[in-house]
Amino acid sequence: MLGKKRQVFREDLYLPKHQLKKVKRGEVVTSHKKSFPWLALFLWFCFVGTFAYMLLFSPVMNVEVLHVEGNSRVTQSDVEKYFAEEREGVFGFVLKRQNFFLFRTGALRNRLQQELPAIENVRVEKEFPNKVNIFIEERQIAVLWCSRGPCSLVRNDSVAAEGANVPDKKGNLPLYTIVDTGGLPVTLGEKIFDYPFVEHFRENVQLLREEFGIAVKNEATSASRFSDEVRFNTETGYELLLSMRFDPHQNMKFLHLFFDQEFSLERQGELKSIDLRTENRIYYALKNSNPEDAAEEVKTDQEKKEDTVNDSSVKQSTEKKDNKTKKSE
């Protein structure tokens, strides 16, 4: 048709002249050169900026809700105090620590364990978008080891932790102090014992109270951390010497033997000391006994059997010697 022009798209319009193809008369050549997508790039930056603002600066992402479980001695207000302190401050003068992604759960966990000795273990978890859950396992007994320098809190793994200010913060936590009379200094972070000292200490104290009604005072002594022994002072007024390396249930077994067969529990006020530091041996002393007299020994059933066997063997050997002597005569 006349007047109708055919449109030709040419991608080679910007090629050198000798490479251009001839265009027929009446054809319109349109350039196919693409422009830079400025609009798409602008929209992309707007999206990323808005998303980053929502994640890092929006109040919606600030940790505000605190949930605490497992606490009885540790108060909610104590936990909230350290939670609020950990939320304060900024990163790089701009980013706030209270942001969900910047809040440091590990720092809060360490702070709680350091400042609240009633806590044995604690787990801190974040729950999107603004909640922190804290799960607490409390100590049944806290043990302070006091030697040269500040006292150290003995953890369950027998490692010495900072504990010089524990008495001021213990609340109603059962706290027992052991004084090392040998004075061997302890370094923070050092493993003091190679056996479960705290576990055995706790079980001994609990079993004494539950099985015999024996209450021990909160301060005990030890000749050295290498001696394995602890000297308790009972509320009745006598000393109870135990080895923390022995099984606590074995200690209670020997105490039952002592109070059932040798000495009445109702007469424990007459006692000066009970010594269970030697395996399979029980030694005791009375208050009115002569200080020069040695402590009396109580033998276990097994030892009595062994003594009976030994006595019979000695008797048999004596009889054989007598028979030989008679024959020779």
- Residue 306 CB coordination number (10 Å): 13
The last residue of one of the domains, among 91, 111, 138, is 138
Same structural domain, 289 and 175: yes
Same structural domain, 147 and 162: yes
The answer to whether residue 11 sits within a structural domain is: no
Contact of 263 with 284, CB cutoff 8 Å: yes
The answer to whether residue 148 sits within a structural domain is: yes
The answer to whether residue 40 sits within a structural domain is: no
Same structural domain, 168 and 290: yes
Nearest Cα residue to 135 out of 161, 106, 171, 109:
109
Same structural domain, 70 and 213: no
pLDDT in tens, 155-210: 888 888 876 445 444 445 678 999 999 888 888 888 999 999 999 999 999 999 99
Res 322: pLDDT: 52
CATH number at residue 207: 3.40.50
Res 69: pLDDT: 94
Res 303: pLDDT: 55
The answer to whether residue 33 sits within a structural domain is: no
Radius of gyration over alpha carbons of the chain, in Å? 40
The pTM for the full model equals: 0.60
Same structural domain, 169 and 203: yes
The answer to whether residue 10 sits within a structural domain is: no
Contact of 300 with 257, CB cutoff 8 Å: yes
Res 248: pLDDT: 95
Q: Which residue do the tokens 């000749």 mark?
A: 223
The answer to whether residue 259 sits within a structural domain is: yes
CATH number at residue 65: 3.10.20.310
The sign of the torsion formed by the CA atoms of 214, 218, 224, 225 equals: positive
The answer to whether residue 96 sits within a structural domain is: yes
pLDDT in tens, 208-246: 999 999 999 999 999 998 889 999 999 999 999 999 999
Same structural domain, 86 and 109: yes
170 phi/psi in degrees, rounded to 5: -70, -25
Same structural domain, 127 and 199: no
Res 93: pLDDT: 64
Res 311: pLDDT: 46
Total count of domains within the chain: 2
Same structural domain, 162 and 275: yes
The last residue of one of the domains, among 138, 167, 189, is 138
Q: Any bridge partners for residue 282, and if so which?
A: 298
d(CA 75, CA 200): 28
The last residue of one of the domains, among 75, 109, 138, is 138
CA angle 226, 232, 235 (to 5 degrees): 175
The answer to whether residue 310 sits within a structural domain is: no
Contact of 244 with 221, CB cutoff 8 Å: no
Same structural domain, 283 and 192: yes
Same structural domain, 216 and 274: yes
Q: What are the residue ranges in the chain where pLDDT is below 70?
A: 1-34, 51-55, 92-94, 163-173, 290-329
Same structural domain, 232 and 130: no
Res 17: pLDDT: 53
* Tokens standing for residue 42: 């602008």
Res 149: pLDDT: 73
Could you tell me the residue range of the domain that residue 104 belongs to?
59-138
Same structural domain, 268 and 223: yes
